[in-house]
Structure 1
Amino acid sequence: MNGAESLLRTAAAHEVDVCFANPGTTELPLVSALDRVGGIRPVLGLHEAVCVGAADGYGRMTGRPALTLVHLGPGLADGLACLHNARRAGTPVVALVGDQATWHLAADAPLTTDLEAVAAAFSTWTGRSTSAAGMAADLAEAVERSRRGPVCLILPADLADEQVESGDSTRPVLAPDSAAGASGSTPVDEERVAAAADALRGAGPVVLFLGGRALSRPGLLAADAIARATGCRLVHETFPARVERGGGLPAPMRLPHVYADAAATLKGVETVILVGAREPVSSFGYPGLPSSLVPADAAVQSLAGAPQDSSDDAVNALERLAERVAGREGPPPARGTVRDRQLTVPSGVLTPETLSVTVAAGQPEGAIVVDESLTAGFDYHQAAIPAPEHTCMVAQVGGAIGHGLPLATGAAIACPDRPVITLQADGSALYTIQALWTQAREDLDVTTVLCNNQSYEIVKMEMKNADRPFGNASRSLLSLDRPEVGWSALAEGLGVPSIRVTTAEELAGALKAALSESGPHFIEAVIRQ
């Protein structure tokens, strides 16, 4: 076998079972090896951002990395925005980047780039194979290191094609952490748990600021027990990589995106305890305002670090904290309190509010909702609290848009038994609309609700908040109505059946029909902003 085959056999042995690929000439040894190695599903994406974003969605839902396969520096560059989001989310992803043959690098051919420099800013680790015999071990190390977020492994074409003897391709490369669990997480020290308990027993208002695994089902239940025993408030990140919601689960407040609203949410707090999250800061710098959203006189403590920064076990930390402040049993879970609230489909034209309620009312139990709706779906998070239990993934964890359609693609491959609903803004959909083709080719159960307001409304909102005047130039850069995008034609042309709706009743009917049959569907929802 050659180096590429030994690498893929190692990947399969490490339960890496899918490869989202857009290959070129330098990756042909790996493409050929996929034919000889069983257990790895090849999935073609028509753009590298689709491949990387899909790997992110797969990793968020399984906790295991997928492979992406991209072509040299330009191919990697095409996927960097989605790699940035995956890094901010702490998602396990292994990006395989083909490179020129070692003997051809000095020629500085047109596609040659400094791959290490390109990859370093967007991944948690970058490696380069220097021998065919070492490729299996390189892959094993990449998988291990991806526990903290996406990694890039550079594979010279001649080494991937070079023959190697069969050997122990699954040997561990990194010494295992004896304190780490199966997922690589490590219990936090008792001092941090004790310090958090002391803060919760203090006189001032306390916020538990949640992110990462703290937003899993067990994490939410433990946080809820702490809140009911101590009176602290639960708030979570504005853009959570994944959060379990609905069905009576505790529903922490989502920190608003707008600066004034976010600052008001934390006003008067004396202590912010971080659990699986970084200190909350504004997405952008505003003159005269501090970057941190935490009051200047408030204390900030870390119970468990964010997944992109540490291997801290946030769930275990919350459970131990709950035992300290609420007793071994703790208060009974506050479940079922929202199940009695019925979601009623509104009537009339679609607005951001009516769209959000209509989707929440129509989503089935077990749905995976990928949210890149931006301004059109600001109301969805609150509207979906009474919905059946579901998983919500916010696409733009790192702020890079165009991530929703690829993320949904990967989630559908990871969880073929669960329906996926994408709430997708129109402007960002145009970045990666090619993902629909992959959804059609793989016959994935993804229903895309395209929020069509014909503008970059989020940028308009920032203009208004900054009290900047709108002129002809700014209007021309923020509108998408000249010419109007033919969304139905685009979707149909990429193999996905499409329907256009303008009222809440039409959206409810289209959503019900799409979810009642297999395969991808596209609903263009025209919104009156």
Structure 2
Amino acid sequence: MNGADLLCDTLLANDVDVCFSNPGTSEMHFVAALDRKPQLRCVLGLFEGVVTGAADGYARMADKPAVTLLHTGPGLANGLANMHNARRARTPMINVPGDHASWHLAADAPLTSDIDGLAWPMSHWVGRATSPEDVGPKTEEAWTQSIATRGPVTLILPADSAWGEVEARTPSKLPMPVPPAIDEGPLKAAAQALKSGKRCALFLQHRALRERALEWAGRIALATGADLFHPQSDRGQRGAGRVAVRMTPYNVDMAIQALEHVEVAICIGAKKPAVFFGYPGKPSSPLPDAAEVIQVAEHEHDLEAALQQLAEAIGLTAKSPFKANAFVQNEIAEPTGALTPATIAAAVARRLPQNAIVVEESVTSAGPLAALSPGLHPHDHLPLTGGAIGEGIPLAIGAGIACPDRKVVAMQADGSGMYTVQGLWTQAREELDVVTIVYANRKYAILQGEMRNVGVNDFGENARRMLDLDRPDLDWVLMAKGMGVDGGRAETIEEFCKLLDHAMKTKGPFLIEARI
């Protein structure tokens, strides 16, 4: 047994059985060890951002971490943007970049870099296996930290720690980290605020947006009149029979208007609301300055238990009523007219199957489907959480690996999709049941909106060259077919509906380019 074998065995002992990878020379002993462990499913991504984004999507749906295999510092650096998204989504992920043999570092070879320094800003924990014997304990610590802190961790594996021999052993399964207790002080303060008659709002994030947790939030809202809001989160459970939660608007002025009535903000999993960017003369938080903020529970707490305890503190029980979304999907009319985000949303909403997974990176086109989602079949929603674009296609890969029997519908903007378009190849290779809908407006529309937000309404030649995606136009159907994914282009809503009907009835990856 060598260090790489021990790494694999330790992961498997703790139910980590998927490896998203893009390896290099320093990781060949890890690759060889994986070849001896068929229980570990290996999924190749053609770019490290696909690898880390897929691991994020997998953990969001599987509720357990995957491991990533990355090539030294540059490979890790290529994956950092989607590690940032996973960090903001509080997604457990074990990243294993290889490094040169420890005695070779002094030679300052071309790929030598400060891997520790690269990893820390996007990791909740960073460790380095200093010897083959150190691999087992460090792997156990990495797993524990990824679960306890709910975020990405990085275990650096020098080549000599991977190839060095160790005494054969069978790793044991580690105990699941216990969430910390919820502080009674903020809990009592929140209960008093809810009973005081003040205008309260609950801000929910992470596992507070799961179905059973939402039922407790719904009981509180119905009994007290409190509003329910959420920022972008890792995974929300939406649809009929569930409790609707309003997303805090992205636009700063709309967010300020939406929250202008809030006297007490009760945060469970979420932090005090913040706007995405700072603008001249605009606040960092959309809350009124006088609003009181009570942080009841952080992401690492048991958020369902926190909501239950808060509900019980104001006299509610599991039998207390809540307002569930009505099922109105069958009442949505078949769309007609131009091909727009609104008509696309109506077409998708009418056809969304039971228990689907909606991956959301449509950026400026997301609103219409979100408005319809409460009345649809129950489904999961995975949005772009950290704001680093290029995660939609990889998230769909991870969701498809985690839930092979569920339809994945990926709503994808064209500009951000080009960051990780290589992920379509992985979807084809793994035969994933993913429908990718590309909103092909041929521009970075979100950035055009941000230009207007800072007072620039007339775009000159240089601005247009940086914000438009034309000359030449992107051909998504050709790109998809070149990577093994079938697809078609729609320029009318009738063409779109025909393609969508085919995609929903067909098992496997399919791409629709919607020319809006």
TM range (shorter): over 0.9
With 287-296 and 337-346 compared, the bigger mean Cα shift is at 337-346
Summarize the alignment of residues 455-494 of structure 1 with structure 2, pairs less than 5 Å apart.
Answer: 455-468=443-456, 469-494=458-483
Counterpart CA distance in 2 for 1:287 and 1:356 is 34
Query: Do the aligned residues in 2 keep the contact of 1:229 with 1:326 (CA within 8 Å)?
Result: no
- Following superposition, the deviation at residue 487 of structure 1 comes to 0.9
- Which of the numbers 251, 257, 277 marks the counterpart of 1:258? 251
Which residue does 1:323 correspond to in 2?
A: 312
Q: 3-state DSSP class of the match of 1:166? A: coil
Alignment of 1:194 with 2:188, yes or no, is yes
Query: Do the aligned residues in 2 keep the contact of 1:187 with 1:316 (CA within 8 Å)?
Result: no
Query: Do the aligned residues in 2 keep the contact of 1:185 with 1:312 (CA within 8 Å)?
Result: yes
- Which of the numbers 273, 282, 287 marks the counterpart of 1:280? 273
- Following superposition, the deviation at residue 358 of structure 1 comes to 1.7
- Following superposition, the deviation at residue 330 of structure 1 comes to 4.5
- Following superposition, the deviation at residue 207 of structure 1 comes to 0.5
Which residue does 1:333 correspond to in 2?
A: 322
- Following superposition, the deviation at residue 337 of structure 1 comes to 2.7
TM-score, normalised relative to structure 2: 0.97
Query: Do the aligned residues in 1 keep the contact of 2:214 with 2:243 (CA within 8 Å)?
Result: yes
- Following superposition, the deviation at residue 256 of structure 1 comes to 0.7
Counterpart CA distance in 2 for 1:301 and 1:392 is 27
- Following superposition, the deviation at residue 170 of structure 1 comes to 2.9
Identity %: 46
Alignment of 1:236 with 2:230, yes or no, is yes
Which residue does 2:391 correspond to in 1?
A: 403
- Following superposition, the deviation at residue 77 of structure 1 comes to 0.6
Alignment of 1:360 with 2:315, yes or no, is no
Summarize the alignment of residues 140-289 of structure 1 with structure 2, pairs less than 5 Å apart.
Answer: 140-147=140-147, 148=149, 149-170=151-172, 172=174, 184-237=178-231, 239-289=232-282
With 163-172 and 341-350 compared, the bigger mean Cα shift is at 163-172
Letter in 1 for 2:15: E
Counterpart CA distance in 2 for 1:121 and 1:429 is 25
Counterpart CA distance in 1 for 2:357 and 2:279 is 35
TM-score, normalised relative to structure 1: 0.95
Could you say if the C-alpha distance between residues 58 and 11 of structure 1 is closer, same or farther in structure 2, counting changes exceeding 3 Å? Answer: same
Q: 3-state DSSP class of the match of 1:431? A: helix
Which residue does 2:85 correspond to in 1?
A: 85
- Which of the numbers 285, 291, 308 marks the counterpart of 1:298? 291
Q: 3-state DSSP class of the match of 2:237? A: strand
- Following superposition, the deviation at residue 203 of structure 1 comes to 2.6
Counterpart CA distance in 1 for 2:87 and 2:451 is 29
- Following superposition, the deviation at residue 184 of structure 1 comes to 4.0
Query: Do the aligned residues in 2 keep the contact of 1:343 with 1:387 (CA within 8 Å)?
Result: no
Counterpart CA distance in 2 for 1:228 and 1:384 is 20
With 2-11 and 459-468 compared, the bigger mean Cα shift is at 459-468
Which residue does 2:48 correspond to in 1?
A: 48
Q: 3-state DSSP class of the match of 2:34? A: helix
Which residue does 2:413 correspond to in 1?
A: 425
With 429-438 and 375-384 compared, the bigger mean Cα shift is at 375-384
Query: Do the aligned residues in 2 keep the contact of 1:342 with 1:386 (CA within 8 Å)?
Result: no
Letter in 2 for 1:207: A
CA RMSD, aligned part only?
Answer: 1.4
Letter in 1 for 2:475: G
Q: Which runs of 5+ in 1 are unaligned?
A: 177-181
Q: 3-state DSSP class of the match of 2:288? A: coil
Aligned residues: 513
Which residue does 2:494 correspond to in 1?
A: 505
Counterpart CA distance in 2 for 1:245 and 1:162 is 49
Alignment of 1:392 with 2:381, yes or no, is yes
- Following superposition, the deviation at residue 141 of structure 1 comes to 0.8
Letter in 2 for 1:5: D
Query: Do the aligned residues in 1 keep the contact of 2:358 with 2:410 (CA within 8 Å)?
Result: yes
Q: Which runs of 5+ in 2 are unaligned?
A: none
Query: Do the aligned residues in 2 keep the contact of 1:343 with 1:386 (CA within 8 Å)?
Result: no
